[in-house]
Amino acid sequence: MQFAAFGTPEFWTRLLQAELRLTMNIVFGLVAGELLLSSGIMDRLFAPLVPRLERWGVHREVAGAMLVALGSSRLAAGMLSAAHDEGGITRREATFGTLSLAFPAYLRRWIVTVTVAAGIAGPAGLIYAAVLLVRSGLRFVWAVWLLRRCSPTRGAESGGDEASAPEVRAVPEANRGPRLGRLPGLLRRSLPWAWGFFALTYALLPQIEYLFTHHVARGGFLRFLPPEGWAVSVSALAHATAALASAAGAMKAGDLDVSHAVLALLVGNLAGTLTRTMRQNVGYWMGIFPREMVPGLVRWHLGTLLPLEIASIFLAWLATAV
């Protein structure tokens, strides 16, 4: 997959199609989240688990969002946003609860991911998909630990971040009443930010690809990966399937073995982290959560993601020497 040149009809067609899908996801997530919470279904569903969840420092609405994330992470994030606005959960619970949604959401997609990865890149694709699953699971455990550690019921210590500031659950007067009345305001705040961040990162992707192919990949300190491996990594900026196909071609030609192909795929996954965060998360978060909460949420998102990605790359690099 090649990126369409900026300003061409193909560029605008692809961008508008992607923005339309993004809009539908956001609208569905917010509307469904408001309906679920206003119906009381989540309260009734998790009522038997409330004592145990609270002993573990996980509020029932956060636990409910984790299960809903198996179907839609945007829907689950919308539920946490609504619960936070009503005072049902604190800012720190909303922050770490949002981070914990990634693993349930990935479980739903992983069956497709592993099937496609193994089908295209064989053993290298299978190993790559397994690493992504294990890494996502470890991050989930980390997020839940943070959630428990800062739970109001456990008297957590403050770490100086917005997510760690002491809070007391209280329902603001402005948020009492019909829940669906919040939707127009949420959509007015969410959609412009989401559209803008997505369009910006989409437009910058060709420049990022050029930066990697003409500068980063030629750096002497980055020769741990052969040129064919960097070609695989850069193709991941377009799409994971493109990277898998590139890896399969390089292995078939004898340019990469399985271990180097896995390493290249993981490096490509790391390279796309920032653009994925901007496209998929930041714009949406800025629309549904209080503005002052978003910087801390982004820091925790990257702070719990990048170390695990770097660690997996290091282990894959060690495997190439075996």
Taking the CB of residue 101, how many other CB atoms lie within 10 A of it? 25
Q: What pLDDT is attached to residue 74? A: 81
- The whole-angstrom separation of Cα 17 and Cα 12 is 8
Angle at 202 between CA 14 and CA 211, to 5 degrees: 125
Q: What pLDDT is attached to residue 159? A: 42
Q: What is the pLDDT along the chain (322 residues), one digit of tens a residue?
A: 445 555 677 777 877 877 787 677 667 666 765 666 566 665 565 556 556 666 666 777 888 888 778 777 888 888 898 888 888 888 899 999 999 999 988 887 788 788 888 888 899 999 999 999 999 999 999 998 988 876 655 443 334 444 544 443 433 333 333 455 566 766 776 677 667 766 766 676 666 666 665 666 555 556 678 777 887 888 787 678 778 888 888 898 888 899 999 999 999 999 888 778 877 788 778 878 888 899 999 999 999 999 999 999 999 999 887 6
Q: What pLDDT is attached to residue 50? A: 56
Q: Taking a C-beta distance cutoff of 8 angstroms, is the pair 63, 51 a contact?
A: no
Domain boundaries along the sequence of the chain: 9-320
Q: Taking a C-beta distance cutoff of 8 angstroms, is the pair 3, 205 a contact?
A: yes
The SS3 of residue 133 is helix
Residue 70: half-sphere exposure toward Cβ, Cα within 13 Å: 5
One-letter amino acid of 100: S
Q: What pLDDT is attached to residue 277? A: 85
Q: Taking a C-beta distance cutoff of 8 angstroms, is the pair 165, 150 a contact?
A: no
Q: What pLDDT is attached to residue 166? A: 40
pTM over 0.75: no
Alpha helices in the chain (DSSP H): 9-39, 41-46, 50-55, 60-68, 73-85, 91-99, 102-149, 183-214, 227-235, 240-252, 258-271, 273-277, 283-288, 294-320
Q: Compute CA distances 317 → 2, 222, 257, 284, whole Å.
A: 28, 12, 12, 35
